[in-house]
Amino acid sequence: MEPNISIVAGLIADPTRAKILTALMGGKALTATELAIEADVTPQTASSHLSKLVAGALLQVRKQGRHKYFQLKGLAIAELLEQLLVITTTAQTTVKTGPNDTRLQYARVCYDHLAGALGVKLYDALVARGILIDAGEQTQLTEKGRIYFIELGVDIEHLQTKRRPVCKSCLDWSERRNHLAGSLGQWVLEYIFDKGWAERDLDARSVRFSESGLKAFKRMFLREV
């Protein structure tokens, strides 16, 4: 028997469940109460939807003490949702694309990597500098790129052992252009947070840079002074 895609499609199609899934695209684990607020429903309603999403293998539950947290069940789910966002914005008749929130438009977390206008600028700059080769979804890291990231402290050999590409382009749903995904994209986002250049907004997927952090990011990755 062939897999039935209508089951997954039906789970995602519900407006409340769609809001819950979108809220989790930032990669953070959230409680049922937090997700109820994001979806603008009662805790009881959120609990019912969460049970269906867990049963449908779209979400996973993590327990920490007396609390339960919900996360997307893997990168493949996040990538599916991102593609649906791209298709949704493409299908709309209005020319304007992306979220109304300017913070999300500028810089946000796409599961585990940087997205938005700044993520696209990062990708373009790395391609222009010969660090990456833009080859569709299978973006390639050049030898110059390997040296560059090794000097920054990246263990490229370790990244190559992971069950995902080192580099991968991800079509940004607000910019309609590529940003950097893959294990290297994840490393860059973690590097930004570790350096203290930016932090996640508590109430959104947006990434908020400090003035000095943005300057340091641009100087290092975009070569802007």
- CA-to-CA distance for 185 and 210, rounded, in angstroms? 20
pLDDT bucket at 202, cuts 50 / 70 / 90: low
Question: Residue 168 forms beta bridges with which residues?
Answer: 181
Pinpoint the alpha helices (H) of 40-142: 43-55, 75-91, 102-106, 117-128
Query: Are the C-beta atoms of 49 and 20 separated by less than 8 Å?
Result: yes
**Distance of alpha carbon 130 from alpha carbon 148, whole angstroms:** 10
Confidence of residue 95 (pLDDT cuts 50, 70, 90): very low
Complete domains list, the chain, with CATH: 5-73 (1.10.10.10), 93-222 (no CATH)
> 166, 164, 161, 165: which is closest to 146 by C-alpha?
166
- pLDDT digits over 126-173, tens only? 999 999 999 876 799 999 999 999 999 999 999 988 888 999 998 888
C-alpha to C-alpha distance for 1 and 124, rounded to whole angstroms: 44
User: What's the confidence (pLDDT) of residue 205?
Assistant: 83
Positive or negative, the CA dihedral 190, 188, 195, 99 is: negative
Band (3; pLDDT cuts 50, 70, 90): confident
Number of alpha carbons in the 13 Å side-chain half-sphere of residue 85: 23
Q: What is the pLDDT of residues 12-46, one digit of tens each?
A: 999 999 999 998 988 888 999 999 998 999 999 99
Token pair recorded at residue 92: 């709309």
